[in-house]
Structures are given as C-alpha cells and as structure tokens.
Amino acid sequence: MTLKTSFIPLFFIYFFSLYSSYALANSKNEIALSPTRDQSLTGMEVATQLSKRHYLDIVLNDELSDRFYQRYLSSLDANKNLLLQEDIDDFKRYRLHLDDTLMRGDLSPGFAMFNRYRDRLQNQLELIVVTLPDIINKLDFNKHEQMILDRKDQSWPANIEEAHDLWRKRIKSAVLNLRLAGKEEEKIVELLTKRFKNQLSRSKQLNNEDVFQLYMNSLAQLYDPHTNYLSPRSSENFNINMSLKLEGIGAVLQREDDFTKVVRLVHAGPADKQGQLQPSDRIIAVGQGTEGDMADVIGWRLDEVVQLIRGEKDTTVRLEVIPVEAKSDQDTKLIEIVRDTVKLEEQSAQKDTIEIVDSENTTHKIGIIDIPAFYIDFDALRRRDPNYRSTTRDVKRLLNELVKEKVSGIIIDLRDNGGGSLKEANELTGLFIDYGPTVQIRHASERIFREQKLTSTPYYDGPLLVLINRLSASASEIFAAAMQDYQRAIVVGGQSFGKGTVQSLTPLRHGQLKLTESKFYRISGDSTQHRGVVPDISFPSLYDKEKVGESALDDALVWDFINPVRHRKYYDIPNLLASLTQKHKQRIIKDPDFQYLLEEMALIQSNQSDDNVISLNEAKRKQKEEKGKAQSLALENKRRTAKGLDPIKDFKELGEDKDESTNPHSENSKLKDDEDNADIYLTESSHIILDSIDLFNRQLASARPEKKNAFNAR
C-alpha cells in the first residue's frame, strides 16, 4: 500500500524529458532509429492495459489519437522553435491513425516524427557550435526587441529563417544574462560553446529506448498525469527511489525547459539539513568535491543531472542554482551538500512544544507532532518484530508523552507530507476518533471499498489542529479530510495538493506500467482529487495554485463526489470558525512577518502579467533587475523596522542578514529554537488552538461527560 498512495518518491524521481533546441541547418543525418520487436509488442500491451484497467473508461479511437498526436508533438518540441510548419504539415497524415497503428504494434509514426526532430536538433546545434562567436559578435543589445518565453500557443516557424531568428533570440537572452552577471565576453563564448557541444553530444546518444518511452508516455499521460510507462532503466531507478537505499542529497527533481528544478526536499535528508537549497530553485551547474570545475548542466537530460548529483555517502557535491527568489537568471548562489543516506529514524514523526501567552497573560504549552511521511517498516512487520516502526506507533508514543507534559492542545503538522501508506493514514485517524470509516476508495469497476476503525479503543479527544500546505498530498489529505469531516480538528494552512488517486505497478514484456486504477473519496462523499482539502482557516502562501498542485497538471482527473457514509461529528467546528477567523485576522494584521508575506505575494502577482515576455534590451533588463531589487529591499526593511531591527542598506546584504521567517518558503520550515526565527505558521496555529480550547472543552463536556481514555489531555 505504501507504493499506491505515494505522492512523490522519497529520493529522485525521473520525469523523462528531452531538451529542446531551436533552429535548423543542413548536415548529414544520423542513422534512423527504429523500434525493436519487444517494443512493438509492449506498445500493444500498454494500449490494452490502459483501455481495460485504467480508472477512466477511455476508448482508444480517432479522438484520442488526435490528442496523442498533439501531446507527442509537444513532448518533442514544446516551445515550437525547432520543427517547421512543413514538418507539421507532413506529420498530419498520422493524426487520426496513431490508435490503429499502435494496436497493430506499428510504432513507425512515432519513430518517424522523432527522427525528423532529432535531425533538426542536431543540424541546429552543429550550426550553432560553428557560428556562435560570429552570432554573439553581431548581437545588438541596444535594439528594442522582446522574446516570448513560452511559445506553446504560438505558430510553428514558417521557414528556416524564422526558426533561426527564434534561436538567435534565445542566444541573445543567454548572453545578456551572463553579461549582467559580470561574465567576460570571452568566457561567455566559451561557456555557451561548451553548453551547445554538450547538447549535441547528448543528442547523438539518443536511442530507440528514449523514443519508445517518450511515445508511450505521450499516450499514458492523456489518461492522467500519474499514469506512466517506465522503461527497464526507469523501473530500476523507481524501485531504488522507493527502497530509500539511494545515497545522495535527498531532493526530488524534475525537468523544466532547459533547467533541472527542485520539486521538494526529503525531510531530514542532506539538502534539508544543510538548509540552503529550496523548492523551485533551478540547478545550472554541478561540481564534485569542495573545489574544482563545475559542469554546466543547462540543457542536460534529467537522468544525467541526477547521476551527476548522486554519489557515495560522506562525499561533497556543489550545486550552482538560480534561487526561487532570484529577480533574474544571473542571480545565482553556490551550495555545498555532503551526500548521505536518509534513515527511517530521521523520516519518523517528531514532537515539540511551543509556549503561548493568552490575553490574560497565562502561559499555555501547545504540543506539536511533525509527520513528514506516512511510513511503515514492512520488512520488520513481516518478520513479526514487535518493535517495528510506523507512523501510527510513533505518534501514539508521542501523544502519550505530550499528554504527560500537560499540553493544552496538539497540532499535527502535515506540511510537505507527500503521502505514503494508506494503512497508516487509516490507523492514524483511529488515534483521534472512537471508531468509524476514514476513507472511501472507488475502483475502476465502480466497486467502493472503505477503510475504517472497526472497534472502539482509547483515543486522544483533546483540542486538535491539523496544519497543511500545498505540498500535503495523498495520505495526508485522507487524514486531514477525515479530521475535518468528523469535525474532530480545526484544519488550517493552505489548500492541499489534490492527489486523490491510487496507482499500481504492472510488469510488461518490456518495462512496467504505473497505472491509476482507483480514486479516494472522503466520508462526506467528496473526492480529494483535484480540489484537495480546503482549510477551515486559510494562511497566506507563496505557492501558486496555477503552477503547483494536481489542478496545475495536464489531464488531471476531475473532482466529483459519491454518497456519504454515516459518521459522527465530535464538535460543532463551523460554529467556532467566525470567532476564530476574526481573531486570526486581527493578529496577522499586526504581525510584521505575515504582512511581509502578504506584500510579497502581491508583488509577485503584479509582476506575473509580463512573465512570458522578456526584453532583450540591456538597459531595460538592467532597469527591471534594479527595480526588483529595490522592491525586495524596501519590503524587507519595512518588516525589519516593524520588528525593531536595523534596516539593510544594500541588496547584497539581504541574503546574508534576513532571518528564516522572511524566506519565500518559510511555510515549509519547522519550529526554530529561538523566538526571532520561530515558524510563523506554527506560532499562529498555536494561537488558534488556544483560542478554541474553552469552546472545545465546553462542547466536549456537554457531548460526552462520561468518556475517559488514555490520551485525554484535559
């Protein structure tokens, strides 16, 4: 069950992608790639499995063939700056026939399109490598021109000259970035030449396995974004990811345009402990050891970047990244991380406490249980080891310890918890309810199964709050939704990810198919898919729901609902929310850190309108960069003044001097030891649960005055 409910594997995940290139020339073509017999037979097998076993009943017909064709084109040349309109006109003969050819085991359309793409790619790179110094020498940085970053809605280049001009603009933007970063002209030519030579070398290493995986995934991901074909090599890496045996930095990576982007960090992994690498940072270079050359990895395949970052325990890897908060691509930083293996003990639930003073100047202790994943040691369980580790067993122990410490209430922190074992999500819910259902699971056959706590056993019935964010997914959403539906806890934070589907792995003749076959539903009947869990009280968040979450993924399954299950309601939480929300708003309007976050969100939103168009005029680019730095500095100094701190005079000091609470991803951070760097989300959650304690206890006393149990914190 751990595999089925996982949101993202706990180390590197392989989101297969091919780097894009942009222009055309004429040179000798490589030998055309062609499918093997195993691949042809596996293609038929994939099509059959998708049609028969996927949660959605989608017929492989002309309509799906058209979507398959469009998705494959996008996979080859997403930014429409490599293939020409004449290529697209030629490819149209395949548009309504990919379904028929695939069911016959004929992969020739996919390979023909790929071979054309590869020829265009290699021809362009060969031309660029030869002419780059001359191209750069002719660039006019005083000319007023712009470049569209995302060209997916633009037309295909009408001819080779138009494609060349698109590529010239990409080169000009790259050169401008390096100039503004202070690079010398000779170094710029050297760096970009090396980058393009690397891309050319990698293009010549493309093989039929690359083509087949890309082609199959272009079909599979039309069903939903979590259905994937895994080649034998990808299957091996996937199994390594799930076993937690891999030694590395503990980061989940994906490909975005020419960059390798950090999706999330593994809790208690090397990168998380080091503290500098953040989600959405883009890795542009990798170096081995504490000194020496850095390999420029812009344009590299994801698996090659991952292989470079991986390494033996206790060795050092250096990453040059463009931070998520960078105002331009030339603002980079160097990060050193010592590789290690993530241990189960460090992935386990941890407890802490925070002291909050109420309006009558009385100090209250609030318990915090941080759950980074829903884990269980299946090997130890099978060996009947009485001390096997699991989320529920660890949390039960921590609950007892916090009750003995006489905490006034407990916060369950599920931020960044990407899921894990469904069994553990069900059993964890049982620590906070008497008995009853926890989640409904509807299979592709439309049969509905329910997980539940079958018998009444002692449970913690004191004040409870669940803290979530946009990266809380899958099993986390099941638990948070159950607590909300039972009205057992107040749920606060950000709207969760919205992954409400279950996948299984099916072995194929060649590789494996990860296929969505079930869907989660709350006991209220609502799906957690797409919509996720909407908190009772929302906190400001820098996560853009248009870019992060299930709803941001192409072809994600929709939200829907089924019949609810009868269940008890422990409190009347909706009746508390108006008062709690009002007090929450009154607090954060006076909190410098929350106000900083709200103003940062407004600033980001105001700058998003022109995010897809970038100026190639050096003066305008400098002006925009300086404006961004001035805005960031003004925001930070406003916050510092409100907190009684000295203002910062120069933007360069900002990264060195600002504390953790101003980090754009501070919603991910955990409780700090000193008050100045306290996690503002946990602090505010503690105030909310403190506000609710009297109301909780009055409702509890009137509803169940006779109940006594091992976890009663009153």
Which residues are CB-neighbours of 268 under 8 A, at least 6 positions away? 250, 342, 343, 346, 347, 372
Is residue 556 scored above 90 in pLDDT? yes
Lowest mean pLDDT among 15-29, 377-391, 485-499, 634-648: 15-29
The secondary element (H helix, E strand) that includes residue 476 is helix 475-485
| More confident position, 666 or 197 | 197
Q: Tell me the CA distances in angstroms from 550 to 478, 499, 528, 541, 697, one per residue in order.
A: 15, 6, 10, 17, 37
Is residue 557 scored above 50 in pLDDT? yes
Contact assessment for residue 315 and residue 248, using Cβ atoms and an 8 Å cutoff: no
β partners of residue 625: none
Q: Is 504 among the residues known to form the active site?
A: no
- Would you place residue 684 in the very low, low, confident or very high pLDDT band (cuts 50, 70, 90)? very high
**β-pairing, 409-413 with 363-370?**
parallel
188-214 burial, b for 16+ CB within 10 Å, e for fewer?
A: bbebbbebbebbbebbeebeebbbbbb
Residue 297 burial (CB count, 10 A): 23
pTM to 2 decimals?
0.82
By the 10 Å C-beta count (0-12 exposed, 13-18 middle, 19+ buried), 559 is classed as middle
Per-residue pLDDT, averaged over 592-604, amounts to 85
Q: Is 423 among the residues known to form the active site?
A: no
Q: What are phi and psi of 573, to 5 degrees?
A: -65, -40
Average predicted confidence (pLDDT) for the chain: 84
- Would you place residue 228 in the very low, low, confident or very high pLDDT band (cuts 50, 70, 90)? very high
Is 139 strand, coil or helix? coil
Is residue 690 scored above 50 in pLDDT? yes
Per-residue pLDDT, averaged over 13-34, amounts to 46
- Would you place residue 74 in the very low, low, confident or very high pLDDT band (cuts 50, 70, 90)? very high
- Would you place residue 281 in the very low, low, confident or very high pLDDT band (cuts 50, 70, 90)? confident
By the 10 Å C-beta count (0-12 exposed, 13-18 middle, 19+ buried), 245 is classed as exposed
Q: How far apart are CA 478 and CA 355, in angstroms?
A: 29
Per-residue pLDDT, averaged over 133-159, amounts to 93
What was the pLDDT predicted at 341? 74
Q: Which one of the listed residues 331, 416, 485, 591 is annotated catalytic? A: 485
Report the candidate in 58, 49, 30, 36 with the shortest Cα–Cα distance to residue 107.
36
Helix runs in 138-249, H state only: 160-180, 185-203, 208-223, 232-243
Ordered DSSP codes for 620-681: HHHHHHHHHHHHHHHHHHHHHHHTTPPPPSSGGGHHHH--GGGSTTGGG----SSGGG--HH
Is residue 13 scored above 90 in pLDDT? no
Per-residue pLDDT, averaged over 323-343, amounts to 76
- Would you place residue 139 in the very low, low, confident or very high pLDDT band (cuts 50, 70, 90)? very high
Q: Is 474 among the residues known to form the active site?
A: yes
Per-residue pLDDT, averaged over 193-219, amounts to 91
Report the candidate in 418, 17, 542, 555 with the shortest Cα–Cα distance to residue 256.
17
Contact assessment for residue 245 and residue 230, using Cβ atoms and an 8 Å cutoff: no
Give 3-state DSSP helix, strand, coil % of the chain, rounded to 5. Answer: 45, 15, 40
Which residues are CB-neighbours of 23 under 8 A, at least 6 positions away? 81, 82, 124, 127, 128, 160, 163, 164, 166, 167, 168
> Mind listing the pLDDT tens digit for each residue in 365-400?
999 999 998 988 777 777 887 778 889 999 999 999
Contact assessment for residue 24 and residue 485, using Cβ atoms and an 8 Å cutoff: no
> pLDDT above 70 covers what percent of the chain?
85
What was the pLDDT predicted at 644? 81
Residue 444 burial (CB count, 10 A): 16
What was the pLDDT predicted at 25? 35
Which residue segments constitute the domains of the chain, with CATH numbers given? 19-205 (no CATH), 245-341 (2.30.42.10), 344-587+682-703 (3.90.226.10), 592-609+616-676 (no CATH)
Helix runs in 383-439, H state only: 391-404, 422-429
> Mind listing the pLDDT tens digit for each residue in 645-682?
888 877 666 655 444 434 433 444 443 333 444 689 99
Q: Which one of the listed residues 65, 474, 551, 615 is annotated catalytic? A: 474
Q: How far apart are CA 130 and CA 135, in angstroms?
A: 10
Per-residue pLDDT, averaged over 685-693, amounts to 93
Is residue 320 scored above 80 in pLDDT? yes
Is residue 152 scored above 70 in pLDDT? yes
Q: Which two tokens stand for residue 66?
A: 């058209």
β partners of residue 294: 287
Q: Which two tokens stand for residue 145?
A: 């021109």
Q: Which two tokens stand for residue 165?
A: 């001009």
What was the pLDDT predicted at 234? 62
Q: Which two tokens stand for residue 105?
A: 């085991």
Q: Would you give the distance in Å from CA 95 to the centre of its chain?
A: 32
Phi-psi region of 623 (alpha: psi -120 to 50; beta: other; left: phi over 0): alpha
> Mind listing the pLDDT tens digit for each residue in 564-589?
999 999 988 998 899 999 999 999 99
Per-residue pLDDT, averaged over 502-524, amounts to 93
Q: Which two tokens stand for residue 482?
A: 């159950």
Q: Which one of the listed residues 169, 351, 423, 499 is annotated catalytic? A: 499
By the 10 Å C-beta count (0-12 exposed, 13-18 middle, 19+ buried), 545 is classed as middle
